[in-house]
Amino acid sequence: MVLAVLAAALGGAVPRTPVPATAKHTVTYDKYSLLLDGKRTYIWSGEFAYWRLPSPGLWRDVLQKMKANGYNAVSIYFNWAYHSPKRGVYDFGGVRDVDLLLDIAAQTGLYVIARPGPYINAETSSGGFPGWLSNDPGRARSDAPSYLAAADEWMTRIDAIIGRHQFTEGTGTVILQQIENELFVTGAAQQRYMLRLARRVRADGITVPIFHNDVGRNGYWVPRSSEVPGTVEGPTGLYAFDAYVGPQRCGEAPKDAPDFGLWGPGGAKGGASASPRTPGFTAEFGGGWFDHWGGPGAYPCLAREAGSGYQRVFYGTNIANGLSIQNFYMTYGGTSWGWLPSPVVYTSYDYGAAIDEARQPRPKATTMKQLGMFVQSFAPLTELDRGDPVTPSSAKVKVYHDVNPHSGAHLYVAMHHPSSATTDDAFTFPISTEDGDHTLAVRLNGLDAKLLVADYDMDAQHLVYSTSELMTHFAGTALFHGRRGESGETVLRYPSAPAVSGDVRSSYDAATGDLRLTYVHDGLTEVRITGGGRPPLTLLLADDEATATLWRQDTPAGPVLVSGPALVRTATYEGSDLLLSGDTTGRTSLRVWGAPPGTRVRWNGRLDGADPVRLPDLVWRSSPGSPEADPGYDDSGWQPAGRTTTAATTPPPPGEPVLTADDYGFHQGDVWYRGRWTGSVETLRIRYGGGGAGLAQVWVDGAYLGQNVLPAGKPSPPRTATATFTVPSSSRTAGQHVVAVMVRNNGHTQDVYADDAHKEGRGLISTSLGAAATWRIQGNLGGEDPADPVRGITNAGGLAGERAGVHLPGYPDAAWHTAAVPAATAAPGTTWYRSTFRLAVPAGHDASLGLTIGDPGTPRSAARYRALIFLNGWNLGQYIADVGPQGTFVLPNGILDPHGVNTLALAVTSDGGPGNGLEKVALTNLGTVRGGVDVPLVAAPAWAPTGG
Ligand code: IPT
C-alpha cells in the first residue's frame, strides 16, 4: 500500500526536536549489571563515529539500522580535533552538531556511551588532539598546566552538550561517560590528570557513572572499591577494558575466545576480574579491525572472518562469562574523510564492521540482531552466577553454564573446545534444572557457538529448554532460530495437553507436562499452540537466513514482529493503523505478529525492489596546479618561516630555522615551502614529516627534481624521512636560487604511549641548506582560521587550487581544456580535474554511490600518482594508485545531491613519469534500496570571486 504522506510524517529535514524532559532517572550498578531506574539492563552497544560520516541526515539512517539490528546503545567518541581549529575556538554546527546527534540517538531509542577523550586514539590524526595542541609545550595526557588548561577547554564545552542529553537528568539517553582512553602510563602525573578530568566532568554537571577504557587487560584505572592486588585505582565508578582478540589479518587461523569474566583466570589482568564489584564491561570489543596504507584491502574478508561464527563464539563467551555491557568497535566505521586519518589508515574506515562504509548492513548484522535481541529479551542474563560444570558427550566441545540466582533460569553456551575449532560435531549434554533432568542434542558445524536457555518463564509460558536459540519473545509470540538444515527441539510445559498446529512433530507427556516439538530449521515455520491451560502462543522457528528479514519494533502499545522487508526502521500506531517504515530490496510481503486484531498495517511506500539508478559518465576538464614551483611565483603573502623554537619532538639542528608546519598554524593537508639561497650546491637534502605514505616533491629554479614517498606499512609506518636530490647543473651557479617543496601531510602520529608522539614534525624539518636559506611557508588558507569554516579544519589543505577554491562548486572552469581520462601521464606536481554531473536517483530511494578510480579488481596499480577527491568542495579521501589498497570512495548523500548537479574535483599529484596519470574514473552504485531516510543537503559555500 503506498502512502506518500507517511514519509513526510516520519522524515522531514533533520529536525531539531529536543527530547522533551521527562522525570529524572537513575543509573546504578552492582557486580552483575547496570540498573536503569532500578531495572537491570543488558547493554549491547555499537561504536559509531559521527565525524566519519559528514552528513547529519545519514546519522539517523545508521542509528536506525543499529537499533533495528538489535543494538540498544551507541558508543560515541567525540573528536576534539574535529571541533577545534584553534585554541579557544569550537564549532558544534553543521556536520559537527553533536546536540542533534544525541537527539537522534534518543529518538531512535538508543542509550549513549559518551567517550569525549580528551584523547581517543581511533586511528585519527593525533588520536583526536587538535592540531594546535602540537604547539603546546606541556606533555599531553599528564598534569602539565598548559595541557590541563587545553583539556579543560574541550571538556567543559563537550560536557555542556553531553550533559544536556543525560538519562539521569531526564533529557536524553546518555548513560555512561568515559574519561581518557587507554592511558597505560600510570605515574603520579597521570594520576593527578585523571583525577582532574573526573572532577572536571562532575563540575560540568555530568551525573552518569564515569569509566575509563583499559588498553587490553591491565587492571588500570579500576574504581577505588575494587581492592584487587596489582590494579591501579582511578577516579572511576566502573571499570572497562578493550579486547581485539579476533581476526586482524585475512586468512588467519581462527583464534581462541578468552575468558574475560569474573570467573576467568582472574585478578588484575583477567578483564572483569580486575573490578569484582562492578559489571563486566568491554568498552571496545573487536567488531572488525582496521586496514592500513599499502594493506591488502582487508575489509570484505575481515567482515567475513569477524562474522557470524566469530561473533557468536567471542561475544557469546563474554555473555557466558557474565559480561553485561558490551560495545563493539566498530559497528559503522565510516570514512576518514579530509585529513582525519592517522598515519596508519587510509580513507576507508570500513573496519569490516556490521554495517559497511556505504551504510549497507552485512550478513554479520543479522547475527548481531539475533544476539542483541536475545540479550535484551532474556532478562536472566543480567544477573548470572556460574552454574555447575556440564560435561558434554564429546571432548571436542565445551559448554559454559550459568544460572540466574533469582529466577533459576539457566544459560548454556556451547562451542568447540578449543573454541577456534571448525569441525562438524554432533553431541549431547545433560542439564539438570527445576524442570528435571534432560539431555540436549546439539550440533556445531564450523566456527560456531550456541546460546541455549532452560527453565525459563517466558511471558505466560514456561520453556523447559530448547536446542534452538531464543531470539526474542513477548506476550503471545516467541521467536527461536538455528542453522538451516539442523534439527531443533523445543520443550514447553503445560498443565494439560495443548493443541499444536504447524509444521512440527509434537508430543505431550502428561506425567511431566512437557510439550515436545521437534523440527528442522528451514525458512520460517509458524507454530500455533492453544489451550493446555495457558494463553495461546505463536512460536516462530526460523533458520538464520530467515531472521535477516525479521524485525522487532517496540511501540508505546507494545512490541510487534515484522517479517518481509530488508529493514524495518520505525513502527507507530495511528489509531488502529500500524505505520511501518523501512527499506525493501525486492518485492516482498509483509507479515506482522503482535498487533491487536483488526490492525491495519501501512508501509511507507511500495513493497518492491529498487528502480534502476542510472549513473552518468564523467566528463573532465583539467588545469595545471603547482604554480608555486615557478621561480617567479609571488610568495610575498606567505609567512616567513624563521622561528627559532618549537614544541615539536623533531627540532632542526641548532641555529637552523624551524620549518615544521604546525609552528606556523598549518596542521593538516598539503603545505608548500619556498626557500632562497645564494651560491652553488650540488645536492639538496631534506628531512620531512609526512605521516603514512606521505610525500615531498622538490623543484629548484622551476626544474622538477623529484619526489620522495614515505613507505606504508604496519603496525607503525615511518612518518619522517630524509631524501637527497641532485641539483641540475643549470642551477649550480653563483647567485640566487629558489627551491620549492610541497609536502603532503598524511596525518599526525597518535599519542598511543602518552609520549607526545603527535608532536612529531610535519612538513619540512630541516634541509642541507641549513641556516643559509630563508624560507616562506603556506598551508591551508587561513591556517587555524580556515577560510571555509563550514567544511572546517578537517577539509582544509594548502594546494594553490584549494586556496583558490578550485575544489568548490561553481569555480569557473570554462577556460580549462577538456581532458581525456584515463590520461597517459601527468605533469610533475599537481594537476586539477573537474567534472560536473547531474544525478536523478528515483524519489523514495536510498542509493549509496561511490567513485571508483582505476581497476576496482586490484588493490594497487602500476601508476605512480595520487589524487585527492573533492565532492562539492568536500575532501572525501585520497587515492594512492601504487600504494593502495582503496580504489572506491564512498560519496555520502547530503554531501552528494542524488537529485541534482554535483561537482567532482580531483587533485592529481604525480612525478610526471610515463603512465603516472589519472586512470579510469567512474561512479559506482554501492547499494540501493527503496526507502531510506530524508537526507537534507549539507549547506556549504560555493566558490565566490572574493572568497574561496
Ligand atoms: C584501541 C583504541 O581504543 C581505539 O581508539 C582504536 O584505536 C582501536 O584500538 C583500534 O581500532 S587501541 C588498542 C587496540 C591498542
Strand partners, 725: 684
pLDDT at 94 over 70: yes
Q: How far apart are CA 127 and CA 213, in angstroms?
A: 15
Residue 456 in grid coordinates: 525459563
Residue 552 in grid coordinates: 522487532
pLDDT of 19 reads 63
Q: Which domain holds residue 419?
A: 382-547
Same domain, 541 and 410: yes
DSSP codes joined into one string, 305-341: HTSHHHIIIIIHHHHHTT--EEEEEEEE--B--TT-B
Same domain, 371 and 420: no
pLDDT at 8 over 70: no
Q: Is the CB of 290 under 6 A from ligand 1?
A: yes
Q: How far apart are CA 348 and CA 292, in angstroms?
A: 9
Residue 101 CA to ligand 1 centre (angstroms): 23
Q: Is the CB of 751 under 6 A from ligand 1?
A: no
What does the pLDDT average to over 258-266? Answer: 85
Residue ending a domain, choose from 360, 380, 400? 380
Pick the atom of ligand 1 nearest to 123's CA. 7
Identity of the residue numbered 345:
V
The answer as to whether 879 is a domain residue is yes
What does the pLDDT average to over 911-925? Answer: 97
Identity of the residue numbered 44:
W
Same domain, 364 and 393: no
Of the two residues 29 and 713, the one the predictor is more confident about is 29
Residue 540: which CATH number? Answer: 2.102.20.10
Closest C-alpha to 107, from 25, 173, 12: 173
Same domain, 819 and 719: no
Tens-place pLDDT, residues 536-584: 999 999 999 999 999 999 999 999 999 999 999 999 999 999 999 999 9
Same domain, 392 and 359: no
Same domain, 748 and 821: no
Pick the atom of ligand 1 nearest to 351's CA. 11
Residue ending a domain, choose from 547, 579, 597? 547
Same domain, 315 and 400: no
What does the pLDDT average to over 623-644? Answer: 98
Residue 144: which CATH number? Answer: 3.20.20.80
If one counts the domains in the chain, the total is 4
Confidence of residue 833 (pLDDT cuts 50, 70, 90): very high
Residue 351 CA to ligand 1 centre (angstroms): 12
pLDDT of 103 reads 98
Pick the atom of ligand 1 nearest to 181's CA. 3
Q: Candidates 244, 289, 349, 749: which one to mutate for ligand 1, based on the most atoms within 8 Å of Cβ?
A: 244
Same domain, 182 and 330: yes
Same domain, 658 and 683: yes
pLDDT of 348 reads 98
pLDDT at 3 over 50: no
Residue 239 in grid coordinates: 571499570
Residue 39 CA to ligand 1 centre (angstroms): 31
Identity of the residue numbered 52:
R
What does the pLDDT average to over 387-392? Answer: 98
Residue 191, sorted as left (phi over 0), alpha (psi -120 to 50) or beta, turns out to be: alpha
pLDDT of 13 reads 44
pLDDT at 360 over 80: yes
Q: How far apart are CA 335 and CA 353, in angstroms?
A: 12
Q: What is the pTM of this model?
A: 0.97
Same domain, 294 and 406: no
The answer as to whether 157 is a domain residue is yes
Residue ending a domain, choose from 314, 345, 380? 380
pLDDT at 519 over 80: yes
pLDDT of 615 reads 98
Tens-place pLDDT, residues 767-822: 999 999 999 999 999 999 999 999 999 999 999 999 999 999 999 999 999 999 99
Tens-place pLDDT, residues 676-708: 999 999 999 999 999 999 999 999 999 999 999
pLDDT of 7 reads 26
Confidence of residue 15 (pLDDT cuts 50, 70, 90): low
Q: How buried is residue 527: exposed, middle or buried, by Cβ count under 10 Å (0-12/13-18/19+)?
A: buried
What does the pLDDT average to over 822-836? Answer: 96
Q: How far apart are CA 306 and CA 352, in angstroms?
A: 7
Pick the atom of ligand 1 nearest to 290's CA. 11
pLDDT at 825 over 90: no
Q: How far apart are CA 6 and CA 20, in angstroms?
A: 23
What does the pLDDT average to over 403-417? Answer: 97
Identity of the residue numbered 662:
D
Residue 82 in grid coordinates: 574535529
pLDDT at 127 over 90: yes
- The answer to whether 947 touches 810, Cβ cutoff 8 Å, is no
Same domain, 125 and 95: yes
The answer as to whether 537 is a domain residue is yes
pLDDT of 297 reads 95
- The answer to whether 252 touches 306, Cβ cutoff 8 Å, is no
The answer as to whether 360 is a domain residue is yes
Q: Is the CB of 123 under 6 A from ligand 1?
A: yes
pLDDT of 946 reads 64
The answer as to whether 602 is a domain residue is no
- For the chain, give me the number of helices (H) and strands (E)? 12, 52
Q: How far apart are CA 920 and CA 858, in angstroms?
A: 13
pLDDT at 948 over 50: no
Residue 121 CA to ligand 1 centre (angstroms): 6
Tens-place pLDDT, residues 934-945: 999 999 999 998
Closest C-alpha to 808, from 903, 668, 907: 903
Q: How many CA atoms lie within 13 A of 255 on its CB side?
A: 17
Orientation angle between helical segments 56-68 and 98-108, nearest 10 degrees: 30
Residue 739: which CATH number? Answer: 2.60.120.260
Nearest CA to ligand 1 atom 4: 122
pLDDT at 12 over 90: no
The answer as to whether 787 is a domain residue is no
Same domain, 388 and 364: no
Q: Are strands 238-243 and 210-214 parallel, antiparallel or unpaired?
A: parallel
Identity of the residue numbered 575:
G
The answer as to whether 588 is a domain residue is no
Residue 487 in grid coordinates: 534439527
Pick the atom of ligand 1 nearest to 122's CA. 5
Residue 563 in grid coordinates: 517479517
pLDDT at 868 over 70: yes
pLDDT of 561 reads 98
In percent, the amount of the chain with pLDDT more than 90 equals 95
